[in-house]
Amino acid sequence: MFDATPPLARARQDGRVSVECAGLTGMVTLRGDIAAIGEPVADATGLSIPDTLGIVEDGGRALAWMSPDELMLFCAYDEAEEIAATLTAATAEDHALVANVSDARAMFELSGEEAALRETLAKLTPADLRPDAFPPGTIRRTRLAQVSGAIWLAEDGAMRVICFRSVADYVFSLLCHAARPAAAVGHF
């Protein structure tokens, strides 16, 4: 995608917790009765359907539970349009809405000690980030300071953060501010 540029393409801060822009990511939103569209979606994506608050990852793709009637597929940016078309066809028999929203959001990746990642996010979100309440394989749609966002601990150990692209600058600055080594709490 020669001329597609995500917001803050080169933004990065290193430290106890490193914050960087995750680059172009495919995202496809699905709305429908998950019980009905689950099977066709699983077939089309090769992923199993996540439980409530769950996210399943496999081979560069992930499928996240976003609400009782909403899923989000993460995939390669280049394949999103085609997958969206496949999913639209696969769910044609059911009442469902599929849309490629790969450009609507920015994604950030936070890396570091897991406790430090949880602590960094706890400065911004009221969600319960204790390991029991927020283990890998779960996703939280929540508030990050003054804007909405979603967070999950990926299988590779990184904390992923998505927000709307219009506030990418704000969220990047927020994450960097929260991740400052001097502001470590040592709580988690």
Partner 1 sequence: MSHRLATGGRLIDRSTSVRFTFNGTYLRGHAGDTLASALLANGRTLVGRSFKYHRPRGIVASGAEEPNALLGLGKGDRFEPNQRATTTELFEDASTTSQNHWPSLDFDVGAVNTALSRFLPAGFYYKMFMHPRPLWKHVYEPFIRKSAGLGEAPAAEARDPDSYEHFHIHTDVLVIGGGVAGLAAAKSAAATGAQVLLIEQTPHWGGRAVVDGGEIDGVPAETWVNATLQTLEGMDNVRIRTRVMGSGVYDHGYALAYERIADHAPGGEAPRHRLWRIRAQKIVTATGAIERPLSFAGNDLPGVMLAAAVRDYVVNYAVAPGKRTVVVTNNDDAYRTALALHDAGLEVPAILDARAEGGGTLAEAARSRGIRILTGRGIAKVKGRKHVTGVAICAQAGEGTVLDTIPCDAVAMSGGWSPVVHLWSHAGGKLTWNAEEAFFQPDPKRAPNTHDASPVVFAAGAANGQLGLAEALSDAWSAGGAGEGAPTAAPRDEAPMRPVWVMPENAKPALRRKAWLDFQNDVKVSDVMLAAQEGYESVEHTKRYTTLGMATDQGKLSNINGLAILSQSLGEDIPAVGTTTFRPPYTPISLAAIAGEARGALFQPIRKTPLHDWHEANGAQWEPVGHWRRPYCFTRPGESKHDAVIREIDQTRSSLGLLDASTLGKILVKGPDAGRFMDMLYTNMMSSLKPGFCRYGLMCSENGFLMDDGVVARIDDQTFLVHTTTGGADSIHAHMEDWLQTEWWDWQVWTANVTEQYAQIAVVGPNSRKVLEKLGGIDVSKEALPFMRWTDGTLADIPARVFRISFSGELSYEIAVPANRGRALWDKLLEAGEEFGVTPYGTEALHVMRAEKGFIMIGDETDGTVIPQDLGLDWAISKKKEDYIGKRAQARSFMASPDRWKLVGLETLDGSVLPEGSYAIGEGRNANGQRATEGRVTSTYYSPTLKRGIAFGLVHNGPDRMGQEVAFNRIGGEPVRARIVSTMFFDPEGEKQNV
Residues within the interface to partner 1 (CB under 8 A)? 1, 3-7, 24, 29, 31-32, 69, 81, 95-97, 99-105, 122-130, 133, 145-147, 164-171, 173-174, 177-178, 180-183, 185, 187
Residue 108's H or E segment, with its range, is strand 105-112
Q: What are phi and psi of 69, to 5 degrees?
A: -130, 30
For partner 1, give the closer residue by CB, 5 or 46: 5
As measured in angstroms, the least distance from the Cβ of 23 to partner 1 is 11
| Spatial contact of 83 and 28, defined as CB atoms under 8 Å apart | yes
Quote the CA–CA distance of 159 and 110 in Å, as a whole number.
5
For partner 1, give the closer residue by CB, 57 or 71: 71
Quote the CA–CA distance of 122 and 178 in Å, as a whole number.
9
For partner 1, give the closer residue by CB, 29 or 111: 29
As measured in angstroms, the least distance from the Cβ of 79 to partner 1 is 14
As measured in angstroms, the least distance from the Cβ of 137 to partner 1 is 19
Q: How far is CA 76 from CA 59, 102, 121, in A?
A: 10, 9, 26
As measured in angstroms, the least distance from the Cβ of 173 to partner 1 is 6
Tokens for 151? 């967070």
For partner 1, give the closer residue by CB, 14 or 156: 14
As measured in angstroms, the least distance from the Cβ of 44 to partner 1 is 18
For partner 1, give the closer residue by CB, 129 or 150: 129
For partner 1, give the closer residue by CB, 18 or 142: 142
* Helix residue spans in 7-130 (DSSP H): 34-45, 80-90, 114-122
As measured in angstroms, the least distance from the Cβ of 48 to partner 1 is 23
Quote the CA–CA distance of 100 and 62 in Å, as a whole number.
15
Is the sign of the CA dihedral 135, 178, 157, 54 positive or negative? positive
Rg (CA), the chain: 16
